[in-house]
Amino acid sequence: MNNPLLILIAGPYRSGTGGDPVAIARNLERLEEAAAPLHRLGHVPMIGEWVALPTLRGLTPGETGQSDVMYDVAARLLQHCDAVLRLPGASSGADNDVKIARERGLPVYFSLDEVPAA
């Protein structure tokens, strides 16, 4: 049995939504749909927005204007993650997550079928 991995689920969140809150919520639901299958495989799923959204609510407008908090949180999370699951769809943020993961030598999966069981 392998050790459980902390796997960042990366895919479109804001991309392609035009800022529409309904479309953004639908994208988050798509990301979250991968969480239970990863759990069933024995891993710990992580989505950057689960950390970034509460962080954003606690920051002042001046703090949020200094950088893209969503990207910052994902980059920091990737210092602790063991792998990335890249879901389909255009997303510069998810593409950046893949880039960081590869720089760190982490596995990048493009399908749940590729993820080994723990």
Would you say residue 20 lies in a domain? yes
| Mean pLDDT, rounded, of the chain | 93
Would you say residue 69 lies in a domain? yes
The answer to whether the beta carbons of residues 10 and 34 sit under 8 Å apart is no
Cα distance between the two ends of the chain:
6
Would you say residue 95 lies in a domain? yes
DSSP E strands in 14-82: the ranges are 44-46
pLDDT, tens digit, 9 for 90 and up, residues 25-68 = 999 999 999 999 999 999 999 999 999 999 888 988 877 765 68
Would you say residue 1 lies in a domain? no
**Largest Cα span, the chain:** 47
pLDDT, tens digit, 9 for 90 and up, residues 64-96 = 765 688 889 999 999 999 999 999 999 999 999
Beta bridge partners of 45: 7
How many structural domains does the chain have? 1
Would you say residue 39 lies in a domain? yes
Q: What is the pLDDT of residue 60?
A: 84
Give the CATH number for residue 81: 3.40.50.450
Backbone angles phi, psi at 88, to 5 degrees: -65, 155
How many of the other CB atoms lie within 10 Å of CB of 8? 26
Would you say residue 32 lies in a domain? yes
**Structural domain boundaries enclosing 82:** 6-114
Q: What is the pLDDT of residue 66?
A: 57
pLDDT, tens digit, 9 for 90 and up, residues 90-116 = 999 999 999 999 999 999 999 999 999
Q: What is the pTM of this model?
A: 0.92
pLDDT, tens digit, 9 for 90 and up, residues 4-15 = 999 999 999 999
